[in-house]
Amino acid sequence: MEEISKQDILFLELRQKLQSGILFIRTDIAGVGTDVKIESREDSILNIQTPERIYQMMVPGVRLVDASCQRIPEITEHGSLIRLCVRFKQPLENTRSVIGQLKVKETYSFLCQSCCCTVLQDRVFKRVLPLPNGNWNALVDDWCCHPDPFANRKLLPRDEDCLLGDTYILLARDSSCELTLTQHAVSIYKDSQEKLSGQRVSVSCRHCCTTLGEEITSEVLKLYITEILVEPSKDVKCDETSHSLVPESNSRRLTRQRYLEQTIASRLVELSSAQSIFRFSIQNPDGKAMILLWLLNTDTLVASFPDAVASFVVDDVHFEASHRCQAVGALKVLYFLCSDNKHKDIIDVWEKDISVHPLLLPQSSCEVLQTLLISSTSRLPPLMRNMNSYQVAYMRM
């Protein structure tokens, strides 16, 4: 019963490209299955009537084709599966990551995502340039007909430059960094051997000690987009009580897990769209693979009700709110955790495949992402948790 307690009681997946969807209702909620009735309202609300109560899913811009409401559910061991035909009235919009938002001649402040303290304030960039990514360094010999003297040199920003990596930005230090950031050396060990192979200088928020990135040189900072917030300075005000910049339009910060999920999902969409990359190796700063991720779908809307909703009674003050949920855009991904030795052969193949794109994240972010993926998988209906040898998860935008 431990597995059932984690599984969502209702789960909806809608695909824009296929104009179709599936609705899964857990056995203890659906009853015999034939007692479930589905109705699509004009205000983009999907009414799902079960033997005991009505659940509402808000699906903006989506209409249910009437004929699909009459389909007989497929009864499985774990619940009822209903296949739906839908019509999307408008294309899904994906949120942009920090990498996709930075522009020249705009003033930005950089905040620690964990405590919202300002670490860099009022930075204006004359140049915002993308860095070569992936395995470009290994391919330099193929580009040049003579030895390239710049092949092994680091590309570093000048003052008023911002260089964009896949999951990080490179900035020049300024005098204010001494007041907001701290540095400490971190030992680097080889993958399979406990042998010291070097050191790197980690950069942390002075207020909360959260690691934000690395010091590339004494003059250059590398900040991970999962660890910082970037705010246009004209839209923020200083909150002296919390020592942070609080946007006037949105004073409620996303939780750590939700922010990381949204940031990484947005970046995966941008990379897949711009470079046709779909397989990723999530690595820590030392280059050790933590997660192998295969991006499957980017045209998906999902909505669900957690197990806790089933315990609410009709006269509960939170009953109405708990039985209504909002569909959100999501990525459907397949993944392996590299700590799982059961699939070592597949993991070895991925690590040698040049088409697999490496994405560097701080160790703590890799661990949070692992937790997010495992949690997403455990909440899915059992028949949807695996595809071939891979585990399935959804990352919300």
Predicted confidence at residue 50, as pLDDT, reads: 84
DSSP 240-279: TTTTEEEESS--SPPPHHHHHHHHHHHHHHHHHHHH---E
Low-confidence stretches of the chain (pLDDT < 70) are: 1-5, 32-34, 43, 66-72, 133-152, 189-197, 234-254, 310-322
CA distance 64 to 46: 8
DSSP 107-133: EEEEEETTT-BEEEEEEE-SEEEEPP-
Predicted confidence at residue 236, as pLDDT, reads: 46
Predicted confidence at residue 256, as pLDDT, reads: 87
* Domain covering 98-251: architecture: Beta Complex (2.170)
Question: Are 376 and 395 spatial neighbours (Cβ–Cβ below 8 Å)?
Answer: yes
Spell out the domain ranges in the chain.
98-251
What one-letter code names the amino acid at 126?
A: K
Predicted confidence at residue 254, as pLDDT, reads: 65
Question: Are 206 and 243 spatial neighbours (Cβ–Cβ below 8 Å)?
Answer: no
pLDDT of 71-123, one tens digit each? Answer: 667 888 888 888 988 888 877 777 788 888 899 999 999 999 988 899 998 99
Question: Are 392 and 384 spatial neighbours (Cβ–Cβ below 8 Å)?
Answer: yes
Predicted confidence at residue 378, as pLDDT, reads: 94
DSSP 164-189: E-SSEEEEE--TTHHHHEEEEEEEEE
Predicted confidence at residue 199, as pLDDT, reads: 81
Question: Are 126 and 161 spatial neighbours (Cβ–Cβ below 8 Å)?
Answer: yes
Question: Are 307 and 37 spatial neighbours (Cβ–Cβ below 8 Å)?
Answer: no
pLDDT of 163-205, one tens digit each? Answer: 999 999 999 988 888 889 988 888 776 655 555 567 888 999 9
Question: What does pTM read for this prediction?
Answer: 0.85
**What backbone torsions phi and psi does residue 270 show, to the nearest 5 degrees?**
-60, -45
Predicted confidence at residue 149, as pLDDT, reads: 60
